[in-house]
Amino acid sequence: MEDFLLLDEQLLEEERLMRDSIREFVEEAIIPKMPEACEKAKFPMELIPKLADMGLFGLTLPTEYGGAGANYVTYGLACQELERGDSSIRSFVSVQSSLCMYPIFSYGSEEQKKQFLPKMAKGELIGCFGLTEADAGSDPNSMKTTAKKVDGGWILNGSKLWITNGTIADLAIVWAKTDQGIRGFIVEKNFKGFSRNEIKMKMSFRISNTGELVFSDCFVPDTHYLPGSGKGLSAALGCLTQARYGIAWGAIGAAMACYESALLYCKERHQFNRAIASFQLVQKDLVNMCLEIVKAQCLNLQLGRLKDKGLGTFAMVSLAKMNACKEALNIARLARNLLGANGISLEYPIIRHMTNLESVFTYEGTDNIHHLIVGKHITGFEAFS
């Protein structure tokens, strides 16, 4: 879409080059596959090595562990372009990078980093993140999954639900309650007592693989305990902050796709002997869509710069995620309406983005939870209970 406020002038050359290369990749390799993948509810596994070749797994991690050493603005732009393709693709990359590679890098031992991160960067190992449970979503502290210390390791019991990459992952970053508090573990798919079940019949994130993780006296050796997870729940929430930052950019990528599709359609669709883009009410909707995208891009870019300076906070990330998801969903709904009956067809990307954004609006912190996070920051009062 048009760079209305000339924000490209605020980007470094390497940031623009990375964004443009991902945009071209999305246009050529991802978008053409999405309608059929959505209809069949099947993740295109052949894209994984291509995403790895683009350097998108662990983009911000040091090169010594297989990352690209990129800054957070570059990562945000990558998420924006990937979600222009589909939320499921951005989510796959986000889970691999922010929710799996990041905790191993931040909380893992040097041996764990060397063992897992290079292979994950190459897409040879796929990860998933096990925090959410059937009765522990917005309140993860109420999780029921437990880890009991035994000789040489830990015994995990419990389950995790709504896990992206759940049944295709080679390893899971799992959070469980111990006698010392919530801790993190690397659980490989072949560990005895670990099983997965795929969640089907979804009307949102149809392309994404979503599963349930089940632990029945699952033995996890001491070598797979994340030693830096002693910070407890805050360690797990630190991973979510990383992922939420990417969502703020990604949701606007979906909004851009909806806006661009609606704008082109309204210019070409004629009623009453004129293009419907010439009608006042249609222009009002298009202008409002453009306005909210540009505002969110400004917010996201400023947040990215702050994160690159080490000044970004989880409250700032909540503000950006909350704003982007709300506005992107509204934009998708407006765009769907402008296309009339064509708005529900997979020949156009809008209904696919709209149903995906229903989940993006909710996951990794609901709109209400992010309001309360920001509310606590500006008032000093906690209103979670």
Residues designated catalytic: 364
Judge whether 314 and 373 are in contact, CB under 8 Å.
yes
Find the distance separating the first CA and the last CA of the chain, reported in whole Å.
42
3 DSSP 8-state letter: -
Identity of residue 337:
N
Spell out the SS3 assignment of 50-82: HHHHCCCCCCCCCHHHCCCCCCHHHHHHHHHHH
- How many Å apart are CA 105 and CA 117, to the nearest integer? 8
Return all residues near 380 (Cβ < 8 A) that are at least 6 apart. Answer: none
Q: Give the position of tokens 């897409």.
A: 123
- How many Å apart are CA 242 and CA 317, to the nearest integer? 8
DSSP letters, 80-108, are HHHHHH-HHHHHHHHIIIIIIIHHHHHHS
Spell out the SS3 assignment of 158-211: EEEEEEECCCCCCEEEEEEEECCEEEEEEEECCCCCEEEEECCCCCCCCCCCEE
